[in-house]
Structure 1
Amino acid sequence: MKKRSIWALAFIAVLTCLSSPALAEGFDPVEYVNPLMGTQSSYELSAGNTYPAIARPWGMNFWTPQTGKMGDGWAYTYTANKIRGFKQTHQPSPWINDYGQFSIMPVVGTPEFDQDKRASWFSHKSEIAKPYYYEVYLAEHDVKTELTPTDRAAMFRFTFPENDHSYVVVDAFDKGSYIKVVPGENKIIGYTTKNSGGVPDNFKNYFIIEFDKPFTYEATFADAALKEGAREQKSDHVGAVIGFKTTKGEIVHAKVASSFISFDQAALNMKELGNDSFDTLVQKGKEVWNKELGKIEVEGGTLDQYRTFYSCMYRSLLFPRKFYEIDAAGKVVHYSPYNGEVLPGYMFTDTGFWDTFRSLFPFLNLMYPTMSKEMQEGLINTYKESGFFPEWASPGHRGCMVGNNSASVLVDAYVKGIKVDDLETLYKGLIHGTENVHPTVSSTGRLGHEYYNKLGYVPYDVKINENAARTLEYAYNDWCIYQIAKDLGRPKK
């Protein structure tokens, strides 16, 4: 089913289903979703370039089985036959790559930290992938691994074999990381600084992992060197291994939460799991996805068309992701990927407007206006904290694509009745973007604005690439700004 027909179906469904007060009896749209769709890809040949994002809609953290090596933008490919770990990921695309990532991997026999040595064969026949749940059998370790997420936390359920040497490896990745084992609390804490750009110097993703079984073995790694009994490491690349004796079929749970603010905030985020069992969290995750996917019910198609439609809709409800957290007072706060401060209010990230202004954001404005309002408020905060609206954020400004399409994203929401609280700042930021370019990220603001504002186009011979595309984008963006200027009664400039 081609993309155009998918969105045509979506538009028809919007017109026919907006008034539906509840899901039809037995309607279970999340079960049509296949998170593996689009994963048969490679750098050389694009066939989707996706990974199975196990997450809540717009969740701050996603989880994915990791078949690629550390730092590989193609974290999971369908043709791979080994899993190296289960990674917390924030990657919006292989080209933009990841940030704030770390992984967890159960092993038996030897406490291996090397990503190739700890890897295990797996088969898609023993793999179950749902948006809210993932399961796989790791053949080399005879361990079944299951995981289910919330927005900022997750629970793992490992089913171990009978073995005196069962372990869980935590890899905090390279480019600067920290790890500490806290055996008295069956806990590992750490942080990772690994990123692909767009972060301040103080960027960290703090994580906490709590197990429900006491440790009988503890070790840490620092730059490939194993130190048994050592409980704390800080270096370029660190990790930890904890172990225990297990009986056949013994289940060990691990609760995981993280924060871009602090360890204390990560502990608060852990409360998303509450006292729920693993199975209860799975059911709650399914209900959340069904609520959001259930906004549209399609009829008359084939089973494959339903699978295509809801799998694409699932992808449409992943980004932009929440980059805000809830503090001890119950207030919305965020670590700013633009100035490194912890500030009040919403923040979203991990999307580029170059394509999504045409389809994704108009769709969200129609179907999810409450969430869209939060996203628009997040854009206002981005301008306040960096001096520019974003064009490609992950998590901060990234140099990618052309145009000033934040204007169309903001104005489309406005004309559809989704209005931010601070319209003065909104308009000020729109005008600022037409007359300036970011000092270090040339895709943010308008590169070539001096020529465009004087001539009405960006010339071909001024050493600015994609000049024709920029001219077309800027012209459309100006038309959008004109619409809001008329409505606000702004004078001509």
Structure 2
Amino acid sequence: MKLLRLLSLCLLLLAGSLSLQASSTSPTSYVDLVNPLVGTQSTFDLSLGNTYPVISRPWGMNSWTPQTGKMGDGWQYSYQATKLRGLKQTHQPSPWINDYGQFSLLPMTGKAPVFNEEKRASWFSHKAEEARPYSYEVYLADYDTRVRMAPSERAAVFEVEFSRMARPEERWIVVDAFDSGSEIQQLDRYTIAGISRKNSGGVPKGFANYFIVRFTDPIQRLVREERKGKDGRHALVAVNLADEKVSSPTTFYVASSFISREQAELNLKEVASRSYQQVRAEGKAEWEKQLSRIAVTDSPDRMSTFYSCLYRSLLFPRRFYEINGKGEVVHYSPYNGQILPGYLYTDTGYWDTFRALMPLIHLVYPEEGAKMAEGMMNAYRESGFFPEWASPGHRDCMVGNNSASVIADAFVKGLGRIDPKELTTALLHGANNEHPSIRSTGRLGYKYYNKLGYVPSDAGINEHAARSLEYAYDDWCILQTLQKAGASADQQQLYAERAMNYRKLYDPSIGWMRGRRQDGSFQSPFSIFKWGDAFTEGNSLHYSWSVFHDVQGLIDLMGGDKAFTRKLDSIFTLPPIFDDSYYGFVIHEIREMQIMDMGNYAHGNQPIQHMIYLYDYAGEPAKTQYWVREVMRRLYSDRPDGYCGDEDNGQTSAWYVFSALGFYPVTPALGQYAIGTPYFREVRLSMPEGKSFVIRASDPSVPYIQSAQLNGKAWEKTYIDYETLRRGGSMTFTLGAKATSWGTHACARPYSFSRAKK
């Protein structure tokens, strides 16, 4: 009897232990694993993300952030800062691009309001700050005041607990519409309205952000200050509500619109008459819904970095459309200044995000990707070109014609209501024209490229070799569209030939890509270690791998599998040698490569991020498995220094998300993913129509694939297809501590254009 009792007790203890284990590996909230402060410990000289805490809904039109930087400073929130100047509405995709549609609010106490942003700033501490994707709370120490904020898609609710030591008439809310021609007026006893025109470019004449602030208590006093701003009037007001209910928080609502003040009032309905807790709960539920599309089972500490990266992957490109009084989707066009029907998205640089971020959206969030594709078509109709870097309209930044990759990837996957004939016309126009004023939109140097097969080094066009390599890949993307659209054989043949233009930049005498002159000779003097000049924020060691569509062709150029893998190996074994003479100083991208102790591998910038997966194409997938895990382990975390360079609109985060799943889109617009190694014990991808794809790993603490099974059958290929994932099913990996021969057979390799043509 005692033995039975003892056995029962042991079983109860075991059950309790298993229950505890289950709770530790199955968190009730994915979103609360997210740290919005990841990457905020950055400076101009060294980027560890160059992020700010984006408090928003997924892809929200308006975002909010605590503002530590001065008005107009691209580094609008720095983890190292000790004072807050306000809570700011923001649309900033990057500190290098800066912001638009911006204004700020700051509760404060005192006999009179303080408008000067330096003097009004309050000390704060991260110990008294709570940043969530769906809410932000902070204690303003100088005012003994607590502020809480929760956004909807286009609006936000604020809740303020003023100091009990401050009399009602000493409690203020300062609204700063920023300089550059701003306005603020009182509409009634409860409402003020303003206009912010401060922007950093990419807007037509007449651009404005119209905002509304509505208080739940009547305005007793309004103090106004107007200054001469940088580019026009700078309007600020301070509102005193003089509420006698000292013990209750002050609540107010904010919304804005790019269309009109009346539309801003419509947008205010998203939060009006709702409590902070209600809006906060709705925001949390929305984030939970989106993040749970990729449901990970593992320990919370391993999951926190993953979900912080997935959160960053769901912020940009942001929705730039609104819902009018008739319930119709409309948008202000930053391309021509008109109010037009349909979707529009903005705040993304496709030079960065064509690589992994947009393929991630197209795979896991296809309904959002469909609207983004339709928005791209609207941008073409309104400006004559697809955007390459949009914020909110065309911006002159980076190189390439990589919108072709993004729209082709959506089109071949059947996303969005896209007319094939119109898409073909749009792609061909972009590939054979230069934008009249924006050098990075269309194809700068296209006449040279179409004639010679490359943009020459002596034509006065910067970063010519990088442009040429990306144009060749973009031509392959256009070919995929032409094939699906049923274009003529002559058109298809032309772009098939242009897709091979990358070969013209390969110099066999040095074994790397190199710029060429108009006469066909190679650029000289030339150094493979020189950043810039022929390349974009990188050197030949980084850009020589930019043959996304034909890795086998690149292997052939470099002398076969062994020679190719030796070159891949050399990127890690070389010391971090660099030549910064093109810039005249060490740009932050160089410094980030130098200090990471990974040789010349520069994961902090995008051109080389796919390189690790190229071992799959040369019969050595174990090296892909090793280096993927090393980069994930060493260069990412959930801390404020959690990136190794610019996060860049979700691209660097999407690399991590894909790599944690165990595969990566080396060739966007293909519908195939090169296999790396899974990071988690189990991942469930929720697909449309209720289907799911489950990825399991036997021991994710080790990287090497011993064997794999797809839907219960042995799988030896080093790739998996888009349609396989979308249909649902499972893939199981047995992992070990030692490399094996798995995936080394020649027929196991992913797609290459050269091989596909044979």
TM-score normalised by L of structure 2: 0.60
Instruction: Determine helix, strand or coil for the equivalent of 1:288.
Output: helix
Aligned residues: 460
Q: Does 1:143 align with 2:141?
A: no
Q: Give yes or no for contact 1:179–1:239 (8 Å, CA) kept in 2.
A: yes
**Equivalent in the alignment of 1:185:** 189
Q: CA deviation digits over 1:182-229, x for unaligned, max 9?
A: 3x331110101100000001100000000112222211111079xxxx
Question: In structure 1, what is the Cα distance between the partners aligned to 2:248 and 2:174?
Answer: 18
> d(CA) in 1 for partners of 2:387 and 2:419?
17
Residue aligning to 1:357? 354
Question: Amino acid of the residue matched to residue 267 of structure 1?
Answer: E
Whole-angstrom CA distance in 1 between matches of 2:46 and 2:27:
39
- Equivalence for 1:31: 32
* Structure 1 Cα separation of the partners of residues 100 and 232 of structure 2: 18
Matched, 1:167 2:165: no
Q: Distance in 2 between matches of 1:462 and 1:173?
A: 42
Q: Which residue type is aligned with residue 70 of structure 2?
A: K
1:125 corresponding residue in structure 2: 127
Match of 1:443 in 2: 440
Question: 2: distance between equivalents of 1:324 and 1:433?
Answer: 24
For 1:254, the equivalent position in structure 2 comes to: 252
CA distance in 2, matches of 1:25, 1:345: 40
Q: Structure 2 vs 1, CA of residues 274 and 252 (structure 1 numbering), >3 Å: closer, same or farther?
A: closer
Query: Is 1:108 equivalent to 2:109 in the alignment?
Result: yes
**Aligned partner of residue 372 in structure 1, secondary structure:** helix
Question: In structure 1, what is the equivalent of residue 487 of structure 2?
Answer: 490
2:61 pairs with 1:60: yes
The counterpart of 2:375, out of the listed 368, 375, 378, is 378
* Distance of aligned partners of 1:25 and 1:79 in 2 relative to their CA distance in 1, 3 Å threshold: closer
1:38 aligned partner, one-letter code: G
CA distance in 2, matches of 1:51, 1:463: 37
Q: Which amino acid aligns with 1:364?
A: I
TM-score (norm 1): 0.91
In structure 2, the CA distance between the partners of 1:486 and 1:175, relative to structure 1 (3 Å rule), is: same
Runs of 4+ in 1 over 6 A off after TM superposition: none
| Gap change, CA 1:374 and 1:419, over 3 Å in 2 | closer
Residue aligning to 1:72: 73
SS in 1 for 2:481: helix
Letter in 2 for 1:439: P
User: Quick one: which of 383, 393, 409 aligns to 2:406?
Assistant: 409
Provide the C-alpha distance between the structure 1 equivalents of 2:109 and 2:191, rounded to a whole number of angstroms. 19
Give the structure 2 partner of residue 203 of structure 1.
Answer: 207
Structure with the greater alpha carbon radius of gyration: 2
Cα distance in 2 for partners of 1:203, 1:187 equals 23
Distance in 2 separating the partners of 1:185 and 1:316: 41
Measure, in 1, the Cα distance between the counterparts of 2:342 and 2:26: 38
Question: Counterpart of 2:293?
Answer: 295
Corresponding residue to 1:212 among 209, 216, 221:
216
Q: Secondary structure at the match of 2:41?
A: coil
What does the per-residue CA deviation read over 1:105-128, in whole Å, with 9 as the maximum and x for residues that have no partner?
001103111101111000111100
Separation (CA, whole Å) in 1 of partners of 2:473 and 2:102? 37
Identity %: 56
Name the stretch that deviates more: 414-423 or 54-63: 414-423
The match for 1:477 among 474, 477, 487 is 474
Deviation at 1:28, TM superposition (A): 1.2
8 Å CA contact retained: 1:138, 1:145:
yes
Secondary structure of residue in 1 paired with 2:295 = coil
Deviates more, 1:322-331 or 1:482-491: 482-491
Letter of the structure 1 residue corresponding to residue 421 of structure 2: E
Aligned to 1:140, the other structure's residue is in SS state helix
Looking at structure 1, the residues matched to 42 and 416 of structure 2 have their Cα atoms a distance apart, in angstroms, of 40
Q: What is the deviation of 1:248?
A: 4.5
CA contact (8 A) 1:181 1:240 kept: no
* Greater mean alpha carbon deviation, residues 419-428 or residues 57-66: 419-428
The answer to whether structure 1 residue 237 and structure 2 residue 234 are counterparts is: yes
Partner of 2:616: none
Contiguous gaps of at least 5 residues in structure 2: 1-24, 492-758
CA-to-aligned-CA distance 1:145-171 (integer Å, 9 cap, x gap): 000000000000000123231100000
Which whole-Å CA distance do the structure 1 matches of 2:411 and 2:259 have between them?
31
Q: Measured at CA, do residues 352 and 159 of structure 1 come closer, stay the same or move farther in structure 2, by a change above 3 Å?
A: same
Is 2:48 the counterpart of 1:51? no
1:20 corresponds to which residue?
none
Give the drift of 1:25. 7.9
Aligned partners of 2:325, 2:242: CA distance in 1, in Å? 37
Distance across 2 between alignment mates of 1:57 and 1:132: 9
State the alpha-carbon separation in 2 of the partners of residues 27 and 429 from structure 1: 46
Q: Please state which structure has a larger fraction of its residues in helix.
A: 2
> For residues 249 and 37 of structure 1, what CA distance do their matches in structure 2 show?
35
Where 2:120 maps in the other structure, the secondary structure is: coil
Q: CA deviation at 1:100?
A: 1.1
Take 2:96 and 2:154, find their aligned partners in 1: how far apart are those partners? 24
Distance across 2 between alignment mates of 1:48 and 1:398? 21
Match of 1:156 among 144, 155, 158: 158
Give, in whole Å, the separation in 2 of the partners of 1:482 and 1:146.
51
1:285 match: 283
C-alpha change, 1:458 and 1:34, in structure 2 (3 Å) is: same
Retained in 1: the 8 A contact 2:412–2:484? no
What is the identity, as a one-letter code, of the residue corresponding to 1:298? V
Q: Distance in 2 between matches of 1:27 and 1:144?
A: 28
Cα deviation, residue 280, structure 1: 1.0
Q: What is the distance in 1 between the residues matched to 2:421 and 2:275? A: 47
**1:396-442 Cα shifts (integer Å, max 9, x gaps):** 00000000000000111112221433222211110001110111101
Contact 1:54–1:62, Cα closer than 8 Å, also in 2: yes
Distance in 2 of aligned mates of 1:271 and 1:189:
15
Return the offset for 1:273. Answer: 1.4
Superposed CA deviations along residues 458-484 of structure 1, whole A, max 9, x for unmatched, are 111111111110010000000011111
Picking from 440, 448, 453, the partner of 2:450 is: 453
Task: Judge conservation of contact 1:222–1:235 (CA < 8 Å) in 2.
Answer: no
Does the 8 A contact of 1:350 with 1:395 survive in 2? yes
> Residues 332-385 of structure 1, C-alpha deviation per residue, up to 9 Å, x if partnerless?
000000000000000000000002101001100001111111000000000000
Q: One-letter code of the match for 1:354?
A: W
**3-state SS in 1 of match to 2:422:** helix
- The answer to whether the 8 A contact 1:160-1:250 is kept is no
The alpha carbon displacement at 1:256 in A equals 0.4
User: Match of 2:465, as an amino acid?
Assistant: A
Aligned mates of 2:219, 2:142 — CA distance in 1 = 22
- 1:26 Cα shift? 5.6
The CA distance in 1 between the partners of 2:323 and 2:381, in whole Å, is 20
Structure 1 letter corresponding to 2:71: M
In the TM superposition, residue 274 of structure 1 has moved relative to its aligned partner by: 4.5
Do the aligned residues in 2 keep the contact of 1:161 with 1:250 (CA within 8 Å)? no
Instruction: Say if 1:242 and 1:235 are closer, same or farther in 2 by CA, change over 3 A.
Output: farther
Deviation at 1:181, TM superposition (A): 1.9
Q: Is the 8 A contact 2:316 2:346 kept in 1?
A: yes
